[in-house]
Amino acid sequence: MASDDVRRRITELREQLHYHNYRYFVLDDPEIADREYDELMRELVDLEDEHPEEVTPESPTQRVGHRPVSGFAEVVHREPLLSLANAFDEEELQAFAERTVRRTGDDVDFVCELKFDGLAVSLIYEDGRFVQGATRGDGQRGEDITQNLKTIGAIPLVLSEPVSVDVRGEVFMRRADFAALNERRRESGEPLFANPRNAAAGSLRQLDPQVTADRPLDIYVYSLGYAENAGFATHGERLEFLKSLGFKVNPHVKYCPDLASVLEYILYWDDHRGELPYDIDGVVVKVNAVSQQDRLGATAKSPRWAVAYKFAAEQGVTRVQDIIVQVGRTGVLTPLALLEPLQIAGSTVARATLHNADIVQNKDIRIGDYVVVQKAGDVIPEVVRPLQERRTGDEKVFEMPLQCPSCGSTVQRASDEAATRCVNTECPAQRFENLVHFASRNAMDIDGLGPAIIQQLLDADLVRNPADLYWLTAEQLLDLERIGPKSAANLVAAIQDSCGRSLDRVLFALGIRHVGSEVARDLAAHFGSVAAIMNADQEELAAVPSIGEKIAQTVCEFFQKEQNRNLVARLETAGVAMVGAEAQRTKDALEGLTFVVTGRLEGFSRQEVEERLRGWGAKVTGSVSRRTDYLLAGDDAGTKLAKAQELGVTVLTEDQLVEVLQERGVSFDKP
């Protein structure tokens, strides 16, 4: 049972972490470095591990950690989470304003907010603690996504006041984060999200909260569905109240005394929305006075005191110069429209994917057509439709080639797929994309091995598959363009260094269809080695949480091919780790020992040291106590070093740590 001192320290740590979360995620103005935050979190984790009876749902440690669920429970909203009626032009907006004046019998002023292109959610707090989160659903009932919402740092787990409220907000994804997420999915052969809203919605409806935690989600809150003992005169006061509780409210909210100022706000953001880091698809106009909102009431679907003014998608007209076909890592042939360059949403568009042959046929897009182009979610260029009235008769109908444009092999299309594939695994285009993927940052992260070098290696016939990389010599690389002795040596060293990548990254790097970084992590955690995965049948694979029948089938098919099993064998011979940290550790070597790591290390990263120590059975904590056996102290060790010296704890340098480990039969040599 925890002592009073321990309880006080746990409370103190939670308050500090909640405060620093607020500074970082809501105010975007952190007061401490990430390292200091991590140390506070680690100390709290250790204390809660030692005293599990002290863990509470609103603890910062509980943002991620719940097991995957089999489905989402239904939630009945205490107050309906209604959608908004739309207005598409000034005339419809004028009609809305006239209706509000007529029905209230008073002059009306407004509050205008940006309309985020995300997913509406409800956040329920009881006595200031976050207890439940739900999707909008049909407005009356939604889905319980509490654990997924907890992973969003901008959602406070504890409010600044112990109030009971139902807060409404919009979860979204910033454009840059969306682009990075799609790039990771493209590299792993996973389907791309169409736009940031699609990505945010898909992330929130993951059955595994860990998947959601890995997605870069954010939120702005904009209203109250219910507030205990509320007495607000205006909507503006509600927003100030939400900010005072610790919520993130968009800074571009504006009070507008009349319709003319509303229109000015709308026109400004229609012109400047491309300058925002996230997507908006319009402006929400709300009656400001709460008493007038109450008098106006709502229909079955939407409030009468608010309207969403929807922006038209930014579009342009250009000409399709050609339609080419690209061959991806998994052999999929993708038609790509080459366009006469035009400016849309702040950038130049010169090409747009047409996805597959069915889309080209259904939209009847031809080479030489003038087409309407827009950016889906203001991000991804999309050909909306051809302007058939501008055809001259010289346009050419596109046909998917019967042979792969890279290797000339006959292509195939499964009856249940829209994709056409080259099934020749020796296809040069696939070989190139596989190597690029293998060396990419989220896979083996081979520094200096980019697409240009890979193409040279293929052209020189120095490599044909990823395993060949590990037998390259610096002398061979000197024959490549713009590769000198130093860069050749560095590249060979970087390739060899990648042998130590974790099992999940090795699995991801293999390029198994549908196995992205998240699925690879689940497979690695469940099976512990590539050998165990290779020998698992489809039923065993499908039993892993988040691994469905389709993924299980593709994993089985991958490892059934002799060339892939040979690839794994050669990678293992080259020294690439084929077992997880848990499987490769020397069992119980450091069992019963407690370490603390502090300061700036030179030979290792702190994360690497801590992961290895835990892997060998040691306990690694964030604070020094009499129970600490060793403190590994780097430069700028600070107060932890002083406390260790005061308590008589053994202090180690990096070299001394290596010696201690060697004495216990484990090796962790400095580079």
Claim: this prediction has a pTM higher than 0.75? no
Return the pLDDT at 444: 92
Return the pLDDT at 560: 93
pLDDT band for position 194 (50/70/90)? low
Tell me phi and psi for residue 489, to 5 degrees: -65, -40
- For helices 549-560 and 562-573, angle between their N-to-C axes, nearest 10 degrees: 70
Query: Could you identify the residue written with the tokens 């959602």?
Result: 155
Higher-scoring residue by pLDDT: 614, 459:
459
Return the pLDDT at 557: 92
Instruction: Give the integer Cα–Cα distance in Å for 620 and 606.
Output: 11
Of the listed 115, 150, 375, 619, which one is catalytic?
Answer: 115
Return the pLDDT at 86: 87
For residues 553-582, give the mean pLDDT: 89
Asked if residues 530 and 506 have their Cβ atoms less than 8 Å apart, the reply is yes
Return the pLDDT at 634: 85
pLDDT band for position 631 (50/70/90)? very high
For residues 295-306, give the mean pLDDT: 87
Tell me phi and psi for residue 569, to 5 degrees: -60, -45
Return the pLDDT at 585: 46
For residues 131-146, give the mean pLDDT: 88
Pick from 379, 330, 25, 377: which is nearest to 201 by CA? 377
For residues 453-475, give the mean pLDDT: 93
pLDDT for 652 beyond 80: yes
Q: Which two tokens stand for residue 410?
A: 């006959």
Distant-in-sequence, close-in-space partners of 573: CB < 8 Å, separation ≥ 6: none
The lowest-confidence range among 342-356, 426-440, 623-637 is: 342-356
pLDDT for 73 beyond 80: yes
For residues 19-24, give the mean pLDDT: 79
Return the pLDDT at 617: 74
pLDDT for 305 beyond 60: yes
- Sign for the CA dihedral angle at 249, 251, 253, 256 comes to positive
- Average pLDDT, rounded, for the chain: 86
pLDDT for 172 beyond 70: yes
pLDDT for 186 beyond 80: no
Look at strands 306-310 and 86-87 and give their pairing. Answer: parallel
37-53 pLDDT, tens digit each? 777 888 888 888 788 88
510-560 pLDDT, tens digit each? 999 888 877 888 888 788 889 989 988 898 898 886 687 888 999 999 999
Task: Report all structural domains of the chain as residue ranges with CATH numbers, in order of start.
Answer: 4-62 (1.10.287.610), 86-310 (3.30.470.30), 315-401 (2.40.50.140), 428-500 (1.10.150.20), 503-582 (1.10.150.20), 587-663 (3.40.50.10190)
The lowest-confidence range among 344-358, 418-432, 453-467 is: 344-358
Return the pLDDT at 650: 93
pLDDT band for position 671 (50/70/90)? very low
Tell me phi and psi for residue 516, to 5 degrees: -85, -175
pLDDT for 81 beyond 50: yes
Three-state SS for 353? Answer: strand
Return the pLDDT at 482: 81
Q: Where are the beta strands (DSSP E) in 362-456?
A: 366-367, 370-376, 380-386, 396-397, 411-412, 420-422
Distant-in-sequence, close-in-space partners of 256: CB < 8 Å, separation ≥ 6: 109, 110, 111, 112, 262, 264, 265, 285
pLDDT for 66 beyond 70: no
The lowest-confidence range among 96-105, 344-353, 499-508, 519-528 is: 344-353
Return the pLDDT at 85: 87
Find which of 22-31, 246-255, 308-317, 579-588 is predicted with most confidence, using mean pLDDT.
246-255
The lowest-confidence range among 146-150, 225-229, 361-365, 457-461 is: 225-229
Return the pLDDT at 413: 86
- Residue 161 is given by DSSP the state S
| Catalytic residue check, 587 | no
DSSP letter string over 261-316? HHHHHHHHHHHHGGGSSS-EEEEEEEESBHHHHHHH-B-SSSBTTEEEEEPPPPEE
